[in-house]
Chain A
Amino acid sequence: MRPSITRTLVLLTAILPAAAAPQSTSNQSTENQASAQTQFRISGTVVDGVSGVPLARASVFISSTSDRSRRITTSSAADGRFLFTDLAPGKYMLSGSAKGYPYRMFEQHENFSTAIAVGRDLVSENLALRLFPLGAISGQVTDEFSDPIRSAQVMLLQSGVNGGNQTVRMERQTNTDDQGHYRFAGLQAGRYYIAVSAQPWYAQHNIQTDSTSPAVPGGPGLRPGLEQNADLDVAYPITYSPRETDAAQATPIALQPGEQATADVTLAPVRALHLRLTARAWTFPKT
C-alpha cells in the first residue's frame, strides 16, 4: 500500500539548535556542480506566519545536516515562492529571513526545528516557510499633571525561562522624547514589562550637610536647605506600566508576533527621603 502521506517530511531533529545562523554561504550555481547524482528539489513559499501573506525578496537558506557550514542561498520571488534544485539525497535544514522578519528555521519551536528529508519517494516541495514579524512596544510617559515626561529612562524587561528558571532580565533601555514617547522595535514575541525611572523636573530637595548636627553621633548630619516649600521635596518611584510601583504586581505585556503594543506609563510623586551613608574612614599607606 502506498503511504498515505501528503507531505513526507521526516521529523528528525530535535537536537538542532535553531538560533545560530550558518557561518558561510555559497550560491546555487556552485552547488549545481557538487554532485552528478543531484536531482532532487526543495521548494515552497515564504509566508507571514500570522497573516499567511507571501513574502517577496526573503532570503531563504538550506544546508545539509551533515555539513552545516555549506549554505545555499536564494531569494523568494514576488509571490513568495522559492526553489532549490539539483540536491543530493539527504537531510536539509531550511531557514529564512526577510526585512522585518528575523531569521527562523522551518517549523521552529523554541530552540528546535524540523529537518527536511530529500530523496526518492520523499516529498520536499510546496513547503510553507513561516516567518514571524517583529513586534514593537511603544507608549507615552506622563506625570501627575498629564504632562509628558521628557528624558525619562524607560526599561524593557523580558520574562522567560533561562537555565530552567523563570527569570526577568533587562533587554534594552531608552529615553523618552519631548512628547514623553518611547519605542522599542524589533521585538520577538514574548512576555515583557515596561519600567520607568525618572525624577520630577520641579523637585526641590535642597538638603545640606551640617557638620554640627547631632543627628548621628560622630558624624555630620543633614539639615534643610534653602528651599522653604517642603511639598516639592518629592521623587518618583520606579513605575511599571501602566502605574504600578510594586514590581511583584506589575502586569506583563504578552507580545504576539508582529504586534504593535502600546504601554503608557503614568508617574506619581511621593515624598523623598534623604538618607545619609557614611563610609568608615580609612588611611592610605604612606609611600
Chain B
Amino acid sequence: MSIRLLWLFSILISPIPAYRQLLARQFQVNPPNPNAPTFALQGTVVNSVTGEPVHAALVQIHFPRQNSMLTAADGKFRFEGIPQSQVNLTVRKPGFFSEQELRQGAPYVDSPIQVGPEMPPVILKLVPEGVIYGRVTGSDGEPINNLPVRLLYGAIMEGERNWQPRGEGAGQTNDEGDFRLFGLMPGIYHLQAGPRASPMPPPGRATDPPQGYGAAYYGGSDTASAAPIEIAPGKQIRADLSVKSELFHQISGLVVGAPKEMPVNIQLFTPDGQTVPVGIRIRTNPQNGAFMGYVPSGSYVLKATVQGKNGPLGVGSQPLTVTGDLAGIRLDVGPTAIIPIATELRTTHDVQPNIQSDPRQNERQLVNVQLTPQGTVLRYIRGSTIEGPPENRSLAIRNVEPGAYKVRIRPLGPWYVESARRGPANLLTDDLTIDAGDLGAPIEIVLRDDFAALTGTILSKGHPTPGIVIFAPDSKGQTPILLPVRTEGKFEQRDLQPGEYRVFAFDRIDGLEYANPEAMRSFSAAAQLVRLAPNGQAMVNLELQTRGE
C-alpha cells in the first residue's frame, strides 16, 4: 500500500504588521453576478447586558463564499456588494457567547436577514460570559495551592437538567490559593474544591498516613447541601472556600471473584457518581486481589473493574462512609450481563419498509437502545449491538454492570415504540434493574407504524408567527418532540405516536426543562390538550409563549 502524506503549516513570512488593516470599516464581497444590483449590509455588534458596542468582534456571512470582518472600535461592520437575498450573519468573540452557542444544540428558528433596498442597520448581540473566582484557604487562613477546583453546571439536555463539569481555567488553585473559572454560560453551578493528598508527608512522619484535604463544597457539606451559584450573563461572582487539613484514613480489603492475573482497577467515586479528583490512589496487588489506599473522611463508592479488551469483564462496588481506618472491605466482582433485545414490528400500512421482504431481516437493527446509569457509578452504554452468528443474529447489550438504568430506545426507521418490557417491568416508565448474576432475560420491544398527524398554526395576538412547537406526551416514558416552525406559523407533524399530548409554542426553548412535567406546570394554561388515535389527524391553533432573552 502506498501512502502519500501532506502536511500544511501556517508559518510567518512577513514582519510587517497587518493588523492595521483588520479594523477596516467595511468589506467588499465579490457578488456571484457582477451585473446584478448589490447592497450594503451594515450594523453594530453590542454587549447584550450593557448595550455597549463590541470592538474586534468577528462577523461572518456566507454569501456566496465565506466573508469575514472584525468590527471597528465603535462596534460597526459593513459588507458591500451583496445581491438582494436572504443571508445569515454570525458573530463571535472570546469572552462572549453568541445566540447560537447559548442554545446548546436546542432547536431554534432562524431569522435570516433580508438584504435589499432601504435595509435598516442590523444589531447583533453578544452575551458576556460568566466567571466564578475565589480563594481557597485552610483553617489557619493560609492559602492552599494546587487544590483541584471543579464546577458542575446544571445543563438542560433534551429538556432535562443534567450536572456536568464545566468551566475553562486551570482547574486548581495557584500559589496564592486563587482560582478562576471562566467561559460560563448563564445557569446554575455547584462549586467544589479538593480532595487532595499532600504531595509529601510531613518531615519526620514518612511512615504516617498521608495528610491532605477532604472535599469542600461551596455553601454546604456535600453535593446535596451545596449552595447553587446562579450565573447571569456577564456576572463575575467571588466564591471563597475553606478546607481543613486532616490525616487520611487507611482503607484496605480484598477483591473477590476477579479472574486471576487480570488487572483490576479500583476507583473512588462520590455517592453521586463523580470521580474523586486526582491525588488519591488505591493500590492493588494483582496476585491476591488485596488493595490499600488512603482517603479523607467522607462518603464514597468504591468500585473494582476487571477490564477486558471490549469492556469490563467484571465489576463490583461497595458504598463506604469513612470516618476512620477501614479494613476488611470486601469487593465482590461479578461478571457483567448480556441483555438480549427482541423486537417485533407491527405494521399497518400497505407499503412496508423493506423489513418484511428483506431475507436478512434479522440482521436489520430496528432500534438502538441506550442505558443511562441512575445516579451511580455505572458505565453509560451508548447502544445495542448485533450479536451471534450470521444465521441467527440478534440484538443485545453487552457488558452491563449490575445496577439501575434508564432505558432510551431510538427507533431506526418510520416506527415508534409502543411498549418495552423486561419481565414484569415496563421500561418506558420504570428503570431497568440488573442484579448480580443476572440471567440475561430479554428486553421485549413492540414497534408500530400507525402514526398520527397534527397540523396547526402558531399565533401571536391573532397573527401567524414563527416559533418552536413542543409536543409533550402525557404518557410517561415518551420523549417530547420539538418542531421549529420558521415561516407563516403553520406546522404539520405526521409522525406522532397515538396518545394524548400537551402542545405548546414558544419563541425560544434554551434552558427550558420541557421534559420535566413539574417545570412545565407553570405553562399549563398555554397548552392545548390533543388526543390522537392510531392513523388519526387533528388540528390546533397555539398562542405563542414569549420567554424573552
Contacts and interface: CB of A to CB of B under 8 A. Distances in A.
Contact of A275 (B11, B30, B168): B11
B204 A25 contact: yes
B5 A279 contact: yes
A28 to B, nearest CB: 11
Contacts of A186: 175
A272 B240 CA distance: 44
Which of A27, A73, A207, A277 is most buried by chain B, counting CB atoms within 10 A of its CB?
Answer: A277
B27 interface: yes
Contacts of B170: 174-175, 177
Interface stretch (A9-17, A48-56, A114-122, A220-228): A220-228
Contact of A144 (B17, B66, B68): B17
Contacts of B21: 231
A100 to B, nearest CB: 9
B2 A271 contact: no
Given A178-B180, A183-B174, A235-B10, A227 B65 contact: yes
Nearest to A227: B66
Nearest to B10: A272
Interface residues of A, number: 56
B204 A73 contact: yes
Interface string A261-287: 000000011111111111101111000
A222 B7 CA distance: 11
Contacts of B29: 228
A269 B18 contact: yes
A269 B19 CA distance: 6
Contacts of A283: 1-2
B7 A276 contact: yes
A234 interface: yes
Contacts of B174: 183, 185
B15 A245 contact: yes
Contact of B203 (A59, A201, A245, A275): A59
A236 B108 CA distance: 37
A202 B58 contact: yes
B3 A228 contact: no
A174 B174 CA distance: 11
Interface string B30-46: 10000000000000000
A206 interface: yes
Interface string A142-179: 00110100110000000000000000000000110111
A185 to B, nearest CB: 4
A28 B9 CA distance: 63
A277 B27 CA distance: 33
Contacts of A222: 8
A280 B182 CA distance: 45
A281 B4 CA distance: 5
A177 B23 CA distance: 25
B131 interface: yes
B169 interface: yes
Contact of A271 (B14, B23, B169, B183): B14
Contacts of A227: 65-68
A23 to B, nearest CB: 11
B69 interface: yes
Given A59-B203, A73-B204, A282-B2, A229 B27 contact: yes
A237 B19 contact: no
Given A177-B180, A237-B12, A274-B9, A27 B204 contact: yes
Which of B2, B14, B18, B180 is most buried by chain A, counting CB atoms within 10 A of its CB?
Answer: B18
A196 interface: no
Given A232-B22, A274-B8, A283-B1, A73 B27 contact: no
A277 B68 CA distance: 28
B7 A226 contact: no
Q: Which of under 10, 10 to 19, 20 to 34, or 35 or more describes the interface residues of B?
A: 35 or more
B16 interface: yes
Interface string A6-40: 00000000000000000001010000000000000
B12 A272 contact: yes
Contacts of B65: 226-228
Contacts of B10: 205, 207, 235, 272-275
A239 B66 CA distance: 30
Contact of B95 (A99, A178, A276, A277): A178
B66 A270 contact: no
B182 A177 contact: yes
A270 B175 contact: no
A177 B236 CA distance: 14
A102 B29 CA distance: 61
B224 interface: no
Given A178-B95, A274-B10, A226 B16 contact: no
A27 B205 CA distance: 11
A212 interface: no
Given A144-B17, A144-B19, A276 B8 contact: yes
Contacts of A229: 27, 67-69
B67 A228 contact: yes
Given A178-B168, A178-B180, A202-B56, A275 B16 contact: no
A261 B30 CA distance: 50
A276 B7 CA distance: 6
Interface in B78-108: 93-95
A183 B8 CA distance: 33
B70 interface: yes
17 contacts: A59-B203, A73-B204, A145-B19, A147-B94, A150-B94, A178-B129, A204-B66, A207-B10, A228-B66, A229-B67, A234-B18, A234-B22, A269-B18, A271-B16, A271-B18, A277-B6, A284-B1
9 cross-chain pairs, A with B, having the tightest CB-CB distances, nearest first: A185-B175, A273-B13, A178-B182, A144-B19, A279-B5, A226-B66, A271-B14, A145-B56, A272-B10
Interface of A: 25, 27, 59, 73, 99, 136, 144-145, 147, 150-151, 174-175, 177-179, 183, 185-186, 201-202, 204-207, 209, 219-220, 222, 225-229, 231-232, 234-235, 237, 245, 268-279, 281-284
Given A178-B168, A226-B66, 11 more contacts: A144-B19, A151-B168, A204-B66, A234-B18, A269-B17, A270-B16, A276-B8, A277-B6, A277-B7, A281-B3, A284-B3
